Amino acid sequence: MEKFEKLTGIAAPMPLVNIDTDMIIPKQFLKTIKRSGLGVHAFDEMRYLDDGSENPDFVLNKPAYRDTQILVAGDNFGCGSSREHAPWALADFGIKAVISTSFADIFYNNCFKNGMLPIALPQEAVDMLMQDAEKGANARMTIDLENQVVTTSDGEEFRFEIDSFKKHCLLEGLDDIGLTMEKVGAIDSFEEQAGQSRPWV
């Protein structure tokens, strides 16, 4: 998993509340078990018109936001069913961080397992970041995970809290497999000793 240390990028305003996982990636695209290729279907029902063409009114289709890496969203982002395809789709689209006042627990934890940083901030802070995101591509936010600070294009800073273990995993680029591989020496040693003491197993 790619390390997340410091990110400076375009932030898109998405003030809708209760954006659920079906809005992020509709159920008809859940047949794959691959993490790649889902970005084209992210926000499918809002992003495309009935004829399959892009909806020009959807924020991520606008020229200023096509290279968005940060979403500033409304309350309760990622609610609904517990599909891990939701963070897969966002990550494949290029989203590396989502800022909101709150997240559904399962989505929140799935983000960390897929190298994405969900940041929960008070409503007042999110409102100010939303306004900054509305400035378009020329207004780039910076997220410093080590120091736990979001900085607007005007230099205003907002500190966020994060679990120390989750922070460590993102900084080091460790998913569940990576965490297991850190202990591969101890695992090999255990298996060798177990094999000697219980050769019949």
Query: What confidence tens digit (pLDDT) does each residue in 160-175 have?
Result: 999 999 999 999 998 7
The answer to whether residue 201 scores a pLDDT higher than 80 is no
| 9 touches 150 (CB < 8 A) | no
> Does 184 have pLDDT greater than 70?
no
Residue 178's pLDDT band (cuts 50, 70, 90) = low
Least confident segment among 23-32, 122-131, 156-165: 23-32
Q: For position 4, what pLDDT does the model report?
A: 95
Asked if residue 185 has pLDDT above 80, the reply is no
pLDDT score at 182: 60
Please write down the long-range contacts of 130-135, taking CB distance under 8 Å and 24 or more positions apart. Answer: 130/13, 130/15, 130/72, 132/11, 132/72, 132/156, 133/11, 133/12, 133/13, 133/70, 133/72, 134/13
- pTM of the complete model: 0.86
Q: What is the mean pLDDT of the chain?
A: 92
Q: Which residue has the higher pLDDT, 68 or 176?
A: 68
Flag whether pLDDT at 181 surpasses 80: no
pLDDT confidence of residue 25 = 95
